[in-house]
Copies of this chain bind each other. A is one copy, B any other.
Amino acid sequence: MIIITQPNATEEQIERIVARVREFGLDPQISRGASRVIISVIGPEDLAREKPFAALPGVEGIIPRLKPYRLASTEFCPEPSSVAIGEVKVGGHEKVALISGPCSVESQDQILSIARTVKKSGASILRGGAFKPRTSPYSFQGLREIGLRFLAEARKQTGLPVITEIMDARDLSVIEKYADCLQIGTRNMHNFSLLKEVGRSRLPVLLKRGFSATINDLIMSAEYILSEGNMNVLLCERGIRTFENSTRYTLDLNAVPILKSKTHLPVVVDPTHGIGLREFIPQMSLAAVAAGADALMIEVHDSPDLAKSDGQQAIVPDTFAELVPRLRAIAAAIGRSL
C-alpha cells in the first residue's frame, strides 16, 4: 500500500499517519517531495486495510496493494497449473476437458443412461447434483446419499470421474466417499465456513463464481481454499446478474482471459447456467473455448421437459453429440485439443 499526502498536510498529520502504520506492526518508508510525502507500507499488508488510512487527515489518496491474494496469483505460480479430477487433468496449455451430465441425479437409470451417452460423445467427466440448492424450500432438494451412490455406480460403469455439489460442511465426509471433485455452487461462493472446510479436503474443488461476485471476489474465495492447504482449485465462470433480461444470466466470457492472466488456476466455463437458454448453449460453448477456457461444463438431459430441475436449459444428447466435433474444431484452431 502506498499513501500519498495532500500538498498542505502538516507535519503533525504525517506523523500521525506514520504512527498509525506502525501500530499495525508495519514498516513505513517515507519519501519527501517538494510538496507531498509518499509513505510506502511494507510487510504483511493484510494486517492493515486501506480504507481506515484513507480516512486520516492529510491523506490525499492510497494506491492499494494490487493483489490481495497470494497463492492463487501468477506470481506464486507463473505457469498454468493443472488439477486432476480422477485421472483426468484439467488446465495447462493443451487439452480442453468436457464435463457433462444432468443438473440433478434423479434415478439410477437416468444417470447411467446420460453418463453413457455423454461419454460416447466425448465427455471425460460426469457431473450430477445429489444435494440441490433451490430458491424455494418447496422444490425438489436432491436424492442426497442415494444420489451419490448412483453417481458412483455410473463412474464404475463408464470410467468417468464424478463431480458433485457440496452445500453443507457436515456432508463433506459422505460426499468424499463417492465423489472425485467437490463443487461449490454460485450461492455458496461467499460461504467462508464451507470454503475453509473444503480447503481441508483431499478432493479438488470446482469453485463457481457467485452470480454477482467480481472476478477479484472469486479469486479471494479460491484463496480461502488454497490457504487451508488444498491447492487443487478450479475456477468456474457461470454467468453474472445484469440488467439484461432476455438471457437468464449474462455469461461473462471476459472473465476467462482475465482469470488466466491473474491466476494459475484452471478456468472452467458453464454456458448452461450462464445464458440459461438451451438453444444458445452451442454458440456460447464455442465462444468459451475460443476465449481460452480449460474446460466446459454442459448440462445434458435425455428428456429436459421432464427434468426435476433446470430442464429448460439442458441440451439433449443429440445436440451434445453434434456440438463436440465443432468444439474440437475450435480447439484445434487455437492450437489445443479436446
Query: A interface vs B, CB < 8 Å?
Result: 2, 4, 20, 23, 29-36, 38, 40, 44, 46, 49, 51-56, 60-61, 63, 66, 68-69, 133-139, 167-170, 187-188, 190-194, 196, 210-212, 214-217, 220, 223-224, 227-228, 240-247, 250-258, 261-262, 274-275, 277-280, 283-284, 286-292, 304-307, 309, 311-312, 326, 329-330, 332-334
A40 close to B31 (CB less than 8 A) = no
A40 touches B29 (CB 8 A): no
Pick from B29, B137, B138, B169: contact of A35, CB under 8 Å: B29
Using CB atoms, name the residue of chain B closest to A132.
B192
Write out the residue numbers on chain B whose beta carbons fall within 8 Å of the beta carbon of A69.
Answer: 136
A-B contact pairs, 7 of them (CB 8 A): A52-B304, A52-B311, A138-B227, A215-B246, A240-B242, A241-B243, A251-B253
Complex interface: chain B residues within 8 A of A169 (CB): 168-170
**Which among B38, B193, B284, B334 is the interface contact of A33 at CB below 8 angstroms?**
B38
Residues of chain B with a CB closer than 8 A to A211's CB: 212
What residues of chain B lie closer than 8 Å to A170, measured between beta carbons? 169-170, 193
- Expressed in whole angstroms, the Cα–Cα distance for A68 and B139 within the complex equals 10
Contacts of A212 in B (CB 8 A): 210-212, 241, 243
Tell me which residues across on chain B come within 8 A of A38, comparing CB atoms: 4, 31, 33, 36, 38
Q: Contacts of A196 on B, CB cut-off 8 Å?
A: 137
